[in-house]
Structure 1
Amino acid sequence: MTATTTTRNPRQSSAPDPRRPAASFGRALKDTLTLVALPLPLLTATLTGAFNAGGTRRWFGGRAESQRAQAQAAKDDAAAAFYELDTAQRDLRISIETITAVDDSPAARRAVEDFAGLGRRIDEVSGQYITAVDAHDLDRDDLEASAASRAHAQLTQAKQQLTQVKQDLDRFAQGIGPLLGKAETQLARLAPSVERARQALLAATTALDSVRQAGLKADDLAARLAALGPELTKLNQGAGQHGVPETLERAERVARDAETVRAEAERLPERAAEIDRRLVSLRTRAQALQTRAGQVEPVLSELRRRFTAACWQDLQTVPDTAEENVRQAESKLAEARVAREAQRWPDATALLSTVRALLNSTDESVSAASDRLQRLNAVAKDPRAEIDRTRFAIRDAQRLAMAGRSTPDPRHARPLDDSVARLDRAVAGLEGRHPDYWHFLTETEGVRRTVARVVTQIREDRGGGV
């Protein structure tokens, strides 16, 4: 009846124990099994028949028979307690095995140790019970009242001990409830998780076969899928060999990796088509930028002719830089085309990203030259619009700073006052024969950025108010 030793069970047939007489022990087990197994009405009838039937037994009336009946009742009660304890221990052993199969935590190890301790107590009280049964033959014709009384006392004590240990076993079972629930949850997840992993691998294999039949190579995906083969072998070997937590983690990882391979395989035709579209689109854009880059030099020529050097010096390298960027872009496009033909999809994607970055940079620099000429023409013709725009921004910020106040916060007033002075200096710089219009434009932009920061600070200080 314990995790470490085997205890006699009235329900089982077993070899005689060399520690006690075989005949008396056999009678005890036979009586225990018979009385526990019989329904109450049949048990009553049997006992009544035993007392009333004829035969060789000689019955003695009075006190001896009353003591015999009490001893027999105590024997029946002890047998029932023994059976309940045995059943509870067997059920709890299954629970402990469930926990140890899943959990190796300190709490689980303590539960195993506590169960072993209970098992030793169960062995002890079970042995005392069996000894009490073997010590008294309640069927003897010459059973004396004193012997029946001793049997009653010993069997009653054995029943109490069995009951007490059963109560301790029940409390222990309640205490390991959370551990058992967690273990059962993991075991319930085990089979579905392993099956999901197998199905994910099958789906990935099917998707990869379909891609290859379409004429697309997927060597990297095939290598990743092949790497999952040993993991599948371990899953098939089972949790008994590798442990439940490890098997669950492996099944989830295999399912996740296989699903990734499947998804990438299914996207591969679309990815190839997208790379083909980008190759054409970027090639067309590179040709267009090459044409636009050739138009930068006339723009620079006009800037040099009409404006001071400070207005165009930073644009001097634009034609050469644009030409070099376009050349590099075309070279990378050729490499990307080779990678696409070899179906090296990651390489092709990376090269196309490099081409796009080069063309974006070229587009910005080419556009900067024409935008510069346009803005300088506008301010040279009428700087008033730029001045009014900047002054309006300053006045609007000043009104916001004074809203609900008699004096502005110095943190807001000081940068606004500095912005007014800065704008005045920029306007004064337009006087003269060859004004630096680009400096004027950069100054007014700088003033507006400063004013915008002050407005943001005011609103944050007021909790997002005005």
Structure 2
Amino acid sequence: MTATPGTSAPQTHPHPPSPVRDALTLMSLPVLAALTVAGAFAGGGTRRWFGGRAESQRAEAQAAKDAAAAAFYELDTAQRDLRISIETISAVDDSPAARRAIADFEALGRRIDEASQTYIQAVDAQDLDRDDLDAATANRARTELTAAKDELVRVKGELDRFTTSLGPLLGSAETQLARLAPAVERARQALLGASNALDAVREKRLSADDLAARLAALAPELTKLNQGAGQHGVAATLERAERVQREAGAIRAEAERLPERAAEIDRRLSSLSTRAQALTTRSGQIEPVLSELRRRFSAACWQDLQQVPQQAAENVRQAERKLTEARAAREAQRWPDATSLLSTVRALLNTTDEAVSAAGDRLTRLNAVQKDPRQEIERTRFALRDAQRLAMTGRSAPDPRHARPLDEAVARLDRAVAALDSGRHPDYWHFLTETEAVRNTVARTVAQIREERGGPTQ
């Protein structure tokens, strides 16, 4: 808002893109000067002074004019300061609350223009320096100027209250602005750190092409950061700076781990190669185990192991092929490929190890139960009795939810024992799987009882 007494209409200022307080203060000085020029010349010696009531009214009108000018200047200054706050908010915040604040500021600006127009018209209505100014005219000028001043003061009060209401929005916006420069600087430093880490890796003759490509992809983001928030907005620039810092930090961390990663891949290549050779030797021992199982036990005890020798040999061959591919990937420094291939090798060898061990474990368990099945039976019955005692603790009769599975487990064990005693060639493996299933049922029931009673499940 800028107005000069003597004009017929107010002049409204366009919103400056980013004013600073000193410049705005200097811009408003001509207004104050214009408002006080007439009074400055009034004290000269060129005007004839008339005594009496006219001169008294002239003095009162001049005092009203000075008070109105001061009120106008205060309102103009406050409006300029508020515009800076509004521009700060609009640069950072696009929330509904911020948009309402901007709209309210524009509406308040229109009210300020109206009050300013009234003031300017009151100033232009009468020339208080006229020699022939009569008392009635001076009195009318005083009344109009006082009314204009009162309106300016009232609108200034509205502006002050609106300014106070902007506190939370302005505080949030200023906080974001305060974060902006440090965030951008951290992003630049993160990019520099990532670049230096890649240089250090290359000095060790390790390639990091994937990391270099990821770093190069951040170049457009750096360009936008350098262009600044004025072009891309504060919120977007903050988000971009944080993302660049995060991604550049990840690149740097991976680059710094690369030498250790290469060493770890070398260790895994050596270890898995040794393990593959050992499994090749162990796989050759499966056939004698199967031969003994066929000779001493019924088919049900070993039929599911028939394919183990062939599958083990195939798994080892496949693991060795993958090891060859992993070595080639390591030499080409294709680190992700080498890591993936070694994981495949490990899975193949684990599967083979489990299958080879299963055949030997089967023979050991069958030998033990054939020699003396009572140990397996007693072990299972003990678990059952222990669970039954727990189910009866503190009760005169067991809970059907607990008694039913335990009774079924007892019957299942009895059937397994009877089957073991009934045949000429007992199915010892079926017996072992049944007793194990009974113990699993017992364990689940015990865990349920303890959980319901609030005790430990183990």
Length-normalised TM-score, structure 2: 0.89
Structure 2: how far apart are the matches of 1:266 and 1:28?
70
1:340 counterpart residue number = 330
Matches within 5 A, 1:199-238: 199-238=189-228
CA distance in 1, matches of 2:35, 2:395: 104
Residues 204 and 261 in structure 1, CA contact (< 8 A), matched pair in contact too: yes
Which of 88, 92, 111 pairs up with 2:78? Answer: 88
2:440 matches 1:433: no
Cα deviation per residue 1:118-173 (whole Å; 9 max; x = unaligned)? 21221221122122223334444554322222122111101110011111112222
- What is the distance in 2 between the residues matched to 1:137 and 1:213? 86
The CA distance in 2 between the partners of 1:111 and 1:376, in whole Å, is: 84
TM-score, normalised relative to structure 1 = 0.88
Q: Tell me whether 258-267 or 101-110 shows the greater mean CA deviation.
A: 101-110
- Over 3 Å counting, the alpha-carbon distance change for 1:351 and 1:56 in structure 2 is closer
Structure-2 residue corresponding to 1:452:
443
Match of 1:463 in 2: 454
Could you tell me which residue of structure 2 aligns to residue 320 of structure 1? 310
* Secondary structure of 1:416 counterpart: helix
CA distance in 2 between counterparts of 1:303 and 1:88 reads 100
Distance in 2 (alpha carbons) for counterparts of 1:465 and 1:354: 39
State how far apart, in whole Å, the 1-side matches of 2:308 and 2:11 are: 88
Q: How many angstroms does 1:86 deviate by?
A: 0.8
Give the counterpart letter for 1:268 in structure 2. L
Which secondary structure does the structure 1 equivalent of 2:206 belong to? coil
Rounded to whole Å, the distance in 1 between the matches of 2:34 and 2:264 is 88
Q: 2:385 & 2:394 partners in 1: Cα distance? A: 16
Paired position in structure 2 for 1:304? 294
Deviation at 1:27, TM superposition (A): 6.6
Q: Tell me, which stretches of 5 or more residues in structure 2 are unaligned?
A: 3-9, 15-23
2:148: which partner in 1?
158
Which 10-residue stretch deviates more, 320-329 or 136-145?
136-145
In the alignment, the residues of structure 2 paired with residue 406 and residue 6 of structure 1 have an alpha-carbon distance, to the nearest angstrom, of 93
Q: Report deviation, 1:55.
A: 4.8
Identical counterparts, % of pairs: 76
Q: CA deviation at 1:106?
A: 3.4
One-letter amino acid matched to 1:12: L
SS in 2 for 1:12: helix
**Aligned residue number for residue 30 of structure 1:** 37
* Residue pair 2:58, 2:135 contacting (<8 A) in 1 also: yes
**Deviation sequence 1:386-425 (CA, Å, 0-9, x none):** 1111111111111111122211111111111111111111
- For the pair 1:5 / 2:12, whether they are aligned, the reply is yes
Amino acid at match of 2:403: A
The change in CA–CA distance for 1:26 and 1:396 in structure 2 (over 3 A counts) is: closer
Distance 1:463 1:11 in 2: 79
Q: Does 1:263 align with 2:253?
A: yes
What is the CA–CA distance in structure 2 between the aligned matches of 1:73 and 1:142, rounded to whole Å? 19
CA offset at residue 62 of structure 1?
A: 4.4
- State whether residues 28 and 77 of structure 2, in contact with CA within 8 Å, keep that contact through their aligned partners in structure 1: no
1:353 pairs, out of 343, 367, 377, with 343
1:78 aligns with 68
Q: Distance in 1 between matches of 2:81 and 2:221?
A: 35
Do the aligned partners of 1:28 and 1:134 also contact (CA within 8 Å) in 2?
A: no
Q: Which residue of 2 aligns with 1:402?
A: 392
How far did residue 26 of structure 1 move? Answer: 7.9
Q: Does 1:365 align with 2:372?
A: no
Q: Distance in 1 between matches of 2:400 and 2:262?
A: 61
Alpha-carbon spacing, 1:94–1:27, altered in 2? closer, same or farther (3 Å): closer
1:443 to 422, 429, 434: 434
Taking structure 1 as reference, are residues 399 and 129 closer, same or farther at Cα in structure 2, changes over 3 Å only? same
Change (3 A) 1:241 1:423: same
Alignment-mate amino acid for residue 37 of structure 2: K
Instruction: State the alpha-carbon separation in 2 of the partners of residues 231 and 28 from structure 1.
Output: 52
**d(CA) in 1 for partners of 2:196 and 2:11?**
51
* 1:406-458 alpha-carbon deviations (Å, 9 max, x no partner): 11111111111111111111111221432221111111100001111111222
Structure 1 position 121 matched with structure 2 position 138: no
- Alpha-carbon displacement from aligned partner over 1:81-101 (angstroms, at most 9, x marks no partner): 112101110011111111222
1:134-173 paired onto structure 2 within 5 Å: 134-173=124-163
Instruction: Indicate the larger mover: 245-254 or 270-279.
Output: 245-254
- Provide closer, same or farther for how the CA distance between residues 240 and 114 of structure 1 changes in structure 2, counting only shifts above 3 A: same
Worse-superposed segment, 302-311 or 338-347: 302-311
Residue 241 of structure 1: aligned partner: 231
Aligned-pair Cα RMSD in Å: 2.6
Deviation per CA, 1:218-277: give whole Å up to 9, x if none: 111111111111111121112222222222222222211111111111111110000000
Partner of 1:106: 96
